[in-house]
Amino acid sequence: MQTLALFDEPEVSREPKQIVDGAMLLPGFALGLDRELITAVERIITAAPFRHLQTPGGQTMSVAMSNCGAYGWVSDRRGYRYEACDPLSGQPWPEMPASFATLAGAAAAAAGFDDFAPDACLINRYLPGAKMSLHQDRDERDFAEPIVSVSLGLPAVFQFGGLSRKDVVQCVPLMHGDVVVWGGAARLRFHGVLTLKAGQHALLGERRINLTFRRAR
């Protein structure tokens, strides 16, 4: 029997996919908001520009960062921590747009984590060649709260590992508009992003922007 093209599967499935217990990929979850998110990021970085932070060990990170919300994640020779003010300006971080918090809450709920109300949004900018080594997100007060990560621009490969740095990692391709949520049993799993490949994205050009929502305090 002939199959009707009309009823073929869409090329990219929007079905949520479990990465491991407690971690979900929500393909395209942020697509409807992409332009609004990018416009908001542009506004935020005029007040709190992207900067390359130093690790406590003295290395310069290849990913440039900024923040919005009540708290921002920072790193320097004194360590990793959340700060209410941008160390560059001494001013509070730009406010988190309502659309950011709504999106993050909806994504968390879609992954099974109700009532997520982020107070911090780390904004990561990757240019080709930038990467983020395997790490755990453990500077937040309450590990019962999930992490919500929104990808925009160039595609990247997300690595999702175990509770030990040496554990095997899964490679998860992340496209523009994809959201990953991890919490519960997956909250302290190691994760990272492989070196960004060169490319051109219709909205962001030669860049990947990642928004990572946390409940810091």
Binding site for Fe ion (CB under 5 A): 137
Task: Quote the DSSP letter at residue 100.
Answer: H
Q: Are 80 and 56 in contact (CB under 8 A)?
A: yes
* CB-based contact 161:191 (threshold 8 Å): yes
Nearer to ligand SIN, 33 or 125 (CB): 125
In the complex with Fe ion, which residue's Cβ is closer, 14 or 81?
81
**Minimum CB separation from ligand SIN for residue 149, in Å?**
5
Q: How far is the CB of 182 from Fe ion (least distance, A)?
A: 9
> Per-residue DSSP letters for 104-168?
HHHHHHHTT-TT---SEEEEEEE-TT--EEEE----SS-TTS-EEEEEEES-EEEEE--SSTTS-
Which residue's Cβ lies closest to ligand SIN? Answer: 210
- Closer Cβ to ligand SIN, 2 or 182, answer by number: 182
Q: Toward ligand SIN, which CB reaches closer, 103 or 122?
A: 122
Cβ proximity to ligand SIN, 17 vs 91, nearer residue: 17
For residues 160 and 170, the answer to whether their CB atoms sit within 8 Å is yes
Least spacing, CB of residue 10 vs Fe ion, in Å: 30
Q: Which is nearer to Fe ion, 47 or 188 (CB)?
A: 188
CB 189 within 8 A of CB 168: no
For residue 27, the tally of other CB atoms under 10 A from its CB is 18
Give, in degrees to the nearest 5, the angle at Cα 80 between 77 and 86: 90
26 makes contact, choosing from ligand SIN, Fe ion, none, with CB < 5 to 8 Å by partner type, with: none
Quote the least distance from Cβ 134 to ligand SIN, whole Å: 9
**Residue 67 interaction partner, one of ligand SIN, Fe ion, none, beta carbon < 5-8 Å per kind:** none
- Binding residues vs ligand SIN (CB under 6 A): 122, 124, 132, 149, 151, 158, 191, 193, 210, 212
Partner that binds at residue 158, options ligand SIN, Fe ion, none, CB closer than 5 to 8 Å by kind: ligand SIN
9: exposed, middle or buried (C-beta count within 10 Å: 0-12, 13-18, 19+)?
exposed
| Contact of residue 159 among ligand SIN, Fe ion, none (CB under 5-8 Å per partner type) | none
